[in-house]
Amino acid sequence: MKKHLAKLAAIATVLTLVFSAAAIGADIELARKSTIEDILKRGELRVGFEAGYVPFEMTDKNGRFVGFDIDMAKEMAKAMGVKFVPVNTAWDGIIPALLSNKFDIIMSGMTVTQERNLKVLFADPYIIVGQTILLHKKHEGDVTSYRDLNDPEYTVTSKLGTTGEQAVKRNIPKAKYKSFETETEAFLEVLNGRADAYVYDLPNCVYLYAQQGEGKVVFLDEPFTYEPLAWAINKGDPDFLNWLNNFLRQVKNDGRYERIYDKWIKGTDWMKEIQE
């Protein structure tokens, strides 16, 4: 009986070793397939974004890409010891472009949603924003929140395919809705009196109000949604995800994040860089 038990124990030990070796081999193979390995071999970090989402990614007077996300991407490339390669991409095709390997990561002010998360892997949020409202001045005092706009008499605008559009349809469903290809077009519709309110992320509304809207529109600056923005990568890449989360933790605690945040979110000096 003792001999039989000893044999079973020996077999169990061998099987454990075999399965452990197989698991280690699988982990090594997974690591080899990580996007990080491709980035390091290529010597380039290809970053996908859509220029035009102020102040996260835009074009300055000299045609260079600038903004909060651009600076973060450059810090990321520097930390990897590779070259930063910007890939400007239309918003409605940005996730398909990532999935087809046109670039390595989306850094474009993308809000984490459950629908998007079915297609891509999100790192931890790097900033929290929410939807706010730029209101035509004729409604000052009568409209004080998004709830007041939930009426067929009002026309509300936002950018096509964004969480601003989703927020309007979800929270202001009774209002007439008009979508536009760009944030500026949607805002100008309100500024020129052809719509009643523009709904979009707080940082963008801050910029548009400072640039064109002060004294002409009413800024309802209390966000009425919770929107974490995060970087997106292809699914099935835990090594890249781990690196990104550790990078974010590092920059948030060594002063780099604060410097970039103060420049693009708190400050306004950067506006001179993009004005004609």
Say yes or no: 120 and 235 in one domain: yes
Average per-residue pLDDT for the chain: 90
Per-residue pLDDT of the chain (276 residues; tens, 9 = 90+): 555 555 655 565 655 554 554 444 545 665 667 999 999 999 999 999 999 888 999 999 999 999 999 999 999 999 999 999 999 999 999 999 999 999 999 999 999 999 999 999 999 999 988 999 999 999 999 999 999 999 999 999 999 999 999 999 999 999 999 999 999 999 999 999 999 999 999 989 988 998 888 889 999 999 999 999 999 999 999 999 999 999 999 999 999 999 999 999 888 888 888 865
Say yes or no: 170 and 248 in one domain: no
Note down the domain range covering 249.
36-127+229-274
Say yes or no: 146 and 108 in one domain: no
Say yes or no: 162 and 217 in one domain: yes
Quick: pLDDT tens for 106-139. Answer: 999 999 999 999 999 999 999 988 999 999 999 9
Which tokens sit at 154? 């009002």
Distance CA 183, CA 195 (A): 14
- Predicted local confidence at residue 276, as pLDDT: 54
Say yes or no: 47 and 174 in one domain: no
Cis peptide before 86 (omega within 30 of 0): no
Contacts of residue 202, Cβ cutoff 8 Å, sequence gap at least 6: 129, 130, 131, 132, 221, 223
- Predicted local confidence at residue 6, as pLDDT: 58
Say yes or no: 185 and 135 in one domain: yes
Rg (CA), the chain: 24
Quick: pLDDT tens for 192-229. Answer: 999 999 999 998 998 899 888 888 999 999 999 999 99
- Predicted local confidence at residue 212, as pLDDT: 87
CATH of the domain at 185: 3.40.190.10
Distance CA 136, CA 169 (A): 20
Domain count, the chain: 3
Q: Please report the DSSP string for the chain in residue order.
A: -HHHHHHHHHHHHHHHHHHHHHHHHHHHHHHHTSHHHHHHHHTEEEEEE-TTBTTTBEE-TTS-EESHHHHHHHHHHHHHTSEEEEEE--GGGHHHHHHTTS-SEE-S-PBP-HHHHTTSEE---SEEE-EEEEEEGGGBTTB-SGGGG-STT-EEEEETTSHHHHHHHHH-TTSEEEEESSHHHHHHHHHTTS-SEEEEEHHHHHHHIIIIIBTTEEEE-S--S-EEE--EE-SS-HHHHHHHHHHHHHHHHSSHHHHHHIIIII--TTHHHH--
Say yes or no: 120 and 140 in one domain: no
Say yes or no: 190 and 162 in one domain: yes
Please give the model's pTM, rounded to 2 decimal places: 0.75
Given 205, 225, 245, the domain boundary residue is 225
Say yes or no: 195 and 136 in one domain: yes
Say yes or no: 92 and 24 in one domain: no
Say yes or no: 185 and 50 in one domain: no
Say yes or no: 192 and 207 in one domain: yes
